[in-house]
Structure 1
Amino acid sequence: MEELARLAGITVRTLRFYRERKLIPPPRREGRIAWYDDHHLARLRTITALLERGHTLNGIAELAEAFDHGRDVGELLGMEAPTEETPVRLTPEELADHFAGQVTPENLAAALDLGYLGVDGEEIVHISRRLLDVSSALVREGIPLAEVLRTGAEVRVHADALADLFATLILRHAPEEAVHRLRPLARSVVDAELSLAMDRRLGRRTD
């Protein structure tokens, strides 16, 4: 326990508190000896990262329970609404391979914060194949995963505002049965405007 606390940068008293709150799984026991491993260390570092991002211990306890019992983290983070995106199931090793060793506790906390990641049993679930592919492609091009996630958080704010704009327009002027048909049109407008905006920004950069 002392060695684990030292590696995690916390006190033994804090470690005992986390264990009592069931924020970390119990150690493997051999007689009177309790063995902790890299999974316990990763969990402690993730707890620290989540606390630094403003999560409460109660909220972290819910996330820990989800990981330990296979509940859907997306539900805990309010991502349970139906979606057109295709989720992707990954092992922890496959997730690490996608991001070239940049799946740090801090980045994991940021991904949980955004609702990008969920869990189902022993598998990690990414909420969107497209977002996973784009994020990993950006990392392969040399952009740090932390910056990709930070930008994703900013994009989320603007995307929510655009969704509010189009939802208001559609719901105000179209019958309910037309909503599904009009969603692709809204995406096309955003895609075209973003393409034009990128042309303007990148054109200024190369002038």
Structure 2
Amino acid sequence: MRNSVEYRIDDLAREAETTTRNVRAYQERGLLPPPTLRGRVGIYGDDHLTRLKVIDSLLQRGFTSAHIADFLAGWEQGKDLGEVLGLQEIVTRRWSSEEPTTITGEQIVELLGEYDGDLVTRLVDANLIRISGDRCEILTPTLLEVFVDLKKYGFTLEQLLDLHEETSATMTAVAESMVGTVTRHLAVRHGPGWLPETGEVVETTEMLEKMRSLAMESAQAELARALDRVQERALGDYLSQTLSKRNDVV
């Protein structure tokens, strides 16, 4: 598990992609534990972040605050809080680890080499950037840097976005298959709506962690092997065409 991180309320809300108003409201309703006070400053931790993500996810699915409070209280009653938070952490932890960066509108024009409204809209729709007023948050800085670097070789950003969107759709299908395997397995083994009881939380957390590792290793390994196969075939085809043209000239 990652090292413990401390957040002030603004940082916590930003990390959970919610608002400070929501954080305070969840505390008032008893859904979110209060922070640790250091003087007059409230300090939140990873347990608050994971709980906040669970709350937001359930609210977005139409559950009321009362339902969520009953659910959390019933689940945690008689269980080790550390185990429960460990399970919440593995379920809500982001798979992507890259930290976003924020630049100005002028800098995004400089980065892209031009300002194209349609292109910016595509970048937003692809969840690569987020625009807020005159600020631009780059959600995947490394990927966008590669896009810009490849422009030097004659690729257009439109071409690279086409490739990214195709890859993203394929990866979404792969992710749905992998996560679906876990949820179907739990439903078959324990029945619909199952939640781990005392003594099962640790085992379930370990299983999810191993499946997470399998998913990442499998996807990376198969992509590498596929690139080897396709690259070798493409190189062979290219060399064959080159030799054929030279023979025709001779």
TM-score, normalised relative to structure 2: 0.44
Aligned-partner residue type, residue 154 of structure 2: G
1:172 to partner: Cα distance: 4.2
1:181 to partner: Cα distance: 5.0
Equivalences for 1:1-207 in 2 at 5 Å? Answer: 83=94, 84=96, 85-101=98-114, 103-173=115-185, 176-178=204-206, 179-180=208-209, 182-207=211-236
Map of 1:30 onto structure 2: none
Residue-pair matches, total: 129
1:147 to partner: Cα distance: 0.8
Map of 1:40 onto structure 2: none
Map of 1:39 onto structure 2: none
Greater Rg by CA? 2
Using the alignment, how far apart are the partners of 1:144 and 1:100 within structure 2?
Answer: 11
Aligned-partner residue type, residue 125 of structure 2: D
Aligned-partner residue type, residue 163 of structure 1: A
Aligned-partner residue type, residue 164 of structure 2: G
Aligned-partner residue type, residue 194 of structure 1: L
User: Where do 5+ consecutive residues of structure 2 fail to align?
Assistant: 1-16, 19-59, 61-91, 187-202, 237-250
8 Å Cα contact 2:178/2:215 also seen in 1: yes
Aligned-partner residue type, residue 148 of structure 1: L
| Equivalent position SS for 1:167 | helix
Using the alignment, how far apart are the partners of 1:122 and 1:110 within structure 2?
Answer: 18
Render the CA deviation track for 1:142-189: whole Å, top value 9, x for unaligned: 210011111111112101101011112334457642334542431221
| Equivalent position SS for 1:132 | helix
Using the alignment, how far apart are the partners of 2:210 and 2:141 within structure 1?
Answer: 22
Map of 1:19 onto structure 2: none
Map of 1:22 onto structure 2: none
| Equivalent position SS for 1:86 | coil
8 Å Cα contact 1:99/1:140 also seen in 2: no
8 Å Cα contact 2:103/2:135 also seen in 1: yes
User: Percent identity among equivalent residues?
Assistant: 22
Using the alignment, how far apart are the partners of 1:115 and 1:196 within structure 2?
Answer: 28
Calculate the aligned-residue CA RMSD, in Å. Answer: 2.8
| Equivalent position SS for 2:227 | helix
User: Where do 5+ consecutive residues of structure 1 fail to align?
Assistant: 1-73
| Equivalent position SS for 1:125 | strand
Render the CA deviation track for 1:50-82: whole Å, top value 9, x for unaligned: xxxxxxxxxxxxxxxxxxxxxxxx99xxxx997
* Superposition misfits of 4+ residues, deviation over 6 angstroms: none
Using the alignment, how far apart are the partners of 1:181 and 1:123 within structure 2?
Answer: 39
| Equivalent position SS for 2:178 | helix
Using the alignment, how far apart are the partners of 1:139 and 1:184 within structure 2?
Answer: 34
Using the alignment, how far apart are the partners of 2:212 and 2:142 within structure 1?
Answer: 17
Rate the CA distance shift 1:190–1:145 in 2: closer, same or farther, 3 A: same
8 Å Cα contact 1:116/1:128 also seen in 2: yes
1:99 to partner: Cα distance: 2.6
